[in-house]
Amino acid sequence: MKGHLAKDHAKNGILFALPWIIGFSVFLLYPLVQSLYFSFTDYSVLRPPVWIGLKNYTNLLQDEVFIKTLSNTFLFAALSLPAGLVFSIGLALLLNTKVKGLAFYRTLFFIPSIVPPVSLAMLWLFLFRGDGGLVNLVLETVGIRGPDWLGSPEWSKPALVLMGLWGVGNAVVIYLAGLQNVPQALYEAADLDGAGPWTKTWNVTLPMISPVIQFNLVMGVIGTFQVFTIPYIMFSGGGPDRSALFYSMYLYDNAFVYQRMGYASAMGWVMFLIIFALTMIVLRMSEKRVHYGS
């Protein structure tokens, strides 16, 4: 009787989960397996795929544009991840204080993160214009001659990093949620020990929100290696000297512009392996530094 009842429960569980299983298989698992197969083929969508083994992967190592996009993406990540982490934590700490109009300031900093990427790109195209752009006009008021943000290989990636800092609202909201859960008793104990604001931040606040920092760092790694929409709109052809041609942009071009779907599939799996490896490195390095205590 118990065995029959257990079978009924299992059957009902499978039936309830069946819509998800079908959706997962059709929209995720099947495309994933197909892309892995296509990465070993010469496939242009218009013709049946032809098996070529590891040729797509070996060609990647000889592709100068691929190497360029990979270095651009790594450099952009090296600039944007630390800057975004420090800036978003700093904003969250400021917004967590008891000041008048706090709800207004929180909303103000969150709004940029919900602006559509296309609109955001058009806005910053106007702001970053080398001749008459608002950013350079503001710099001129303090005696600084602004650079050609969008026309210079040296300044194209810093311009994108600055844009990213403007849209850290999502991370700030997550940090604020973590800050709200820091026990006040710890701050009171630190006050009794004579700790100053910086000491309390370093020894109490940051350890207590370390799981949130870890989460945002992992999401930042994934996001920076998939940056696409804004640079694709702002920098036609990858910008000056292809300095703003990122990995995902080149992958898109190979798939939908050059019709090299097999080559693009190989690039997609290389991207997956890179992101997976970096995520594991972040998790391993932060494993002993993340505090999950209540």
pLDDT digits (tens, 9 = 90+) for 151-162: 889 999 999 999
pLDDT one-digit tens code per residue, 160-195: 999 989 889 889 989 998 998 888 898 889 888 888
Q: Which of 170, 265, 266 is nearest to 220 (CA)?
A: 170
Is the predicted pLDDT of residue 9 greater than 60, yes or no? Answer: yes
Task: List the single range of 10-19, 22-31, 220-229, 247-256 with lowest mean pLDDT.
Answer: 10-19
- pLDDT confidence band for 293 (50 / 70 / 90): low
Q: Whole-model pTM? A: 0.89
- Which domains are delineated in the chain? 1-38 (no CATH), 54-285 (1.10.3720.10)
pLDDT the model gives residue 287: 81
Write out the chain in H/E/C secondary structure.
CHHHHHHHHHHHHHHHHHHHHHHHHHHHHHHHHHHHHHCCEECCCCCCCEECCCHHHHHHHHCHHHHHHHHHHHHHHHHHHHHHHHHHHHHHHHHCCCCCCHHHHHHHHHHHHHCCHHHHHHHHHHHCCCCCCHHHHHHHHCCCCCCCCCCCCCCHHHHHHHHHHHCCHHHHHHHHHHHHCCCHHHHHHHHHCCCCHHHHHHHHHHHHCHHHHHHHHHHHHHHHCCCCHHHHHHCHHHCHHHCCCCHHHHHHHHHHHCCCHHHHHHHHHHHHHHHHHHHHHHHHHCCCCCCCCC
